Structures are given as structure tokens and as C-alpha cells.
Amino acid sequence: MAHCPNCGTEVKNEELYCVKCGEKLPEDLNRRVAAPSSTGFNKWWVIPITTFVVSILLIIGYYFLLENQITKARQTYAKGVELAEDGQFSEARDTFLDALKYKDKFPAASQNAQFMEIAEEIRRLLNSSDQLKKDGEYQEALNLITDAEGKLNNYKGTVVNQLLDQIVQQRNDIKVAQLTYKLEQKPSVQDLKSLLWQAEAIQSEEANEIVQSIRKRIIDYSYSNANEKLKMNQFSDALAFVEDGLKYAPDSSKLKSLKTTIEKEKVAFETEQQQRIQQALNAAEKERERNKNDAVEIVSVQTKLDDYGDLVVKGEIKSVATVPIYSVTVIYHLIDKDGHTQLTNEVYVYPDTLFPDETGNFEFTHYDIDEELKADVEKVTWFLDSP
């Protein structure tokens, strides 16, 4: 199509002048093309302008499409996080992989998808360790717990903290089960001391109950042996038993009271040995006089087998004296059902000093007796704070 080079108006091949602007047209038909002018539009600009507009529209469309994909990726990722925090690791992994379909360069989704596989592996290890615990394979179960914990190195976050809490809880459960089993085997007192440290290292209510149980056995053992040594005036050995027991039960009022008794007895024995001999001779007579005057009355005496099959003698006395008395001892016989005396024993009352109308207690564990016997109190002895 020919055009006027001056104004761009369409002209015919046989025309010599432009019908619009009146300019003479070039004789060479190839030169009859539209040229820019201030009075018309060059139609040759239509194609590039159209191409530019379409390109802009395509870019805008692609931008909105990309934004939509990113939004979906983020929403899917957030859903994966919720599933992971809810413990649904397999579903969370699939959801993170779906997020990668919307946005392939999504490092957080990729890393979380990989971590979900680790979380699944940790869950399998925890389940396996639980079964090993039920089977009594405690060390193997603890090894799996260690393996599970190691897989969380260099990771942090809410899910990691949840898994760590589960690992700590399960490790404590296994250790408690292991301790319970060892206690059922009736360990020696020396072994009990080792088990006590292990139990104290476990932060759980069940472990605390085990701690209290072990401490009671150590206290009873220390008290009974110290009491035996005290009766033989072996004060250093008696104190050694008490102080060893206080290492494991520092708040035991029972052992503290016995320690006070031992120290008083030791000082009196070392500084006034001759006087103690005479005092001991007079004590027998005073004892008979006080018994006649009800200086001390027996409130209760009972025997029973503890959880470990050892015979425990417990009792309570009341001072009806008019002055304080101290170093009170109770002598009793253990009598079987046929009325035969199986054993005679002497035990100190705590607290060491009893004031008028005050009550005291005594307790002794016979580790070598595993049958129920009746305790019959023969007599009670004491010393007076004043002459």
C-alpha cells in the first residue's frame, strides 16, 4: 500500500500529487511510504506498540501468577509447620513437599521436609526403646535414646524441643524402671548408696519416691548399726555409721538425734568413766524406783515386716517424770507365737532428751529376722538431767 511520504495519507499508484497535503509524490513507487508528521499517525508504529503492550501484560500476568504461587507455597508451608508441631511428621513432610511444587526454590520447606524424616526416625527409635524397656533390656533402650538425641544435634525449634522433651521423659522412665528392677533384687547397703545417686539424678515424681525409699533403708541400716556399737561403748564406730548415713540423708532427725546421744555418751564415758560405773550401779535401783512410780509409761509397741521382709520394731513412750530425762533406752524381747523368746534387744529413744509429759519414739530393724514376732518390753532405762 502506497502512502504520501509527507503526511502518510494513502495514495494511488497513478496519482502524481497527494490529495490531502498537495505535495508532489515521488515517481519511484518504492519511496511512497508514510513519514512522521505533526498532523498524522504513522501506522507502522502499530505493530511495535502492540508488541510492547502485550509484553507488559504478559509480564504483569506472570508477576501475579508468581505471587499467587508464592502465597500458596507459604500457606502450604504454614500448614506443614502446624502438622509437624502436632506430631504428624509424615503428613507434614508431604505438605512441605507440596509447598516445593508451588515454589521450587524454598530452602525452609526443603530442610523441614528432610527434618521430618529425621523426626520419624526418632519416633521409631523411641518406640523401639520403649519395647526394650518392657523386655527388661534397659541399657539397650538407653543406647537407642542416646542415638535419638544425637540426631537432633545442630537443630533447634519448637518441634526439636518437643522431641527433646519426649526423649528426656522416656530416658527418665527407662532409668526408673531399671532402678525399680535393681531394688527388687535386694541390693546391699553399699549398692543402695550408688542407686541413691542415680535416683537423685532423675527429675521425676517416681524417681523421688525411689529416693525416699532408699534413704529410709539407709537411715534404718545406719541407725541400727550405730545403736549396736553404742551399746558396746564403741563410740567412734557408732558415730561413723551415723555420719555415713547423714551423707545420704542429711535432714534425718532420727540420725541427728542419735548422733547427739552418741556424742554425749562419749564425752561422759571419757571424762567420768569411774563416775559412770557408779551411776550405772545406781541406775538399776533408780530404774526400779521410777518404774514403781511410773516415771515412764509405754504408749505403744508394735512389730511388722517391712516391704523387704525385715522385722521392724516401733514404739512410743511418754515421760511422766518431773524433771527432764535423757539417753532413754528400751529393752525388749522378741517372742514367737509359742511364747518363746527369740531375741532380746536394747534400743535408744529419740529425741535424746524428754521433758515432762513429752513423748519419744524408738525403732529398730532386725535384718536377720524375716518372721512376725511379738515385742515385749522388759524395762526402760534413762538418765536424769538433774540429781
**Residue from 218, 241, 164, 168 nearest 210 by CA:** 218
Work out the number of other CB atoms within 10 angstroms of the CB of residue 349. 28
- When divided into structural domains, the chain yields a total of 2
CATH number at residue 324: 2.60.40
What is the span of the domain harbouring residue 306?
Answer: 273-384
**Is 268 contained in some domain?**
no
In a domain? residue 80: no
68 found inside a domain = no
Q: Does residue 375 lie in a domain region? A: yes
Specify if 247 maps to a domain: no
Q: What is the pLDDT of residue 292?
A: 57
Residue 320 lies in a domain: yes
In a domain, 143, yes or no: no
Residue 305: inside a domain, yes or no? yes
Per-residue pLDDT, 92 = 85
Under 8 Å between Cβ of 172 and 203: yes
292: three-class secondary structure by DSSP: helix
Report residue 78 CA to chain centroid gap.
31
Count Cβ atoms within 10 A of the Cβ of residue 244 and give its class: 0-12 exposed, 13-18 middle, 19 or more buried. Answer: middle
Which residues have a Cβ under 8 Å from the Cβ of 196 and sit 6 or more positions away? Answer: 211, 214, 215, 218, 248
Please give the chain's pLDDT, 387 residues, in tens.
Answer: 677 877 777 777 777 778 778 777 777 777 766 544 444 455 566 677 777 777 776 777 656 656 666 777 778 778 888 888 888 888 888 888 888 777 777 788 788 888 888 899 999 999 999 999 999 999 999 999 999 999 888 888 888 899 999 999 999 999 999 999 999 888 898 899 899 998 988 888 888 999 999 999 999 999 999 999 999 989 999 999 999 999 999 999 999 999 999 999 888 888 877 775 676 677 666 656 665 567 788 999 999 999 889 999 999 999 888 778 888 999 999 999 999 999 999 999 999 999 888 999 999 999 988 888 999 999 988 887 654
Q: For position 102, what pLDDT does the model report?
A: 75
Task: Please give the pLDDT value at position 37.
Answer: 46
Q: State the pLDDT at residue 155.
A: 85
pLDDT at 143: 94
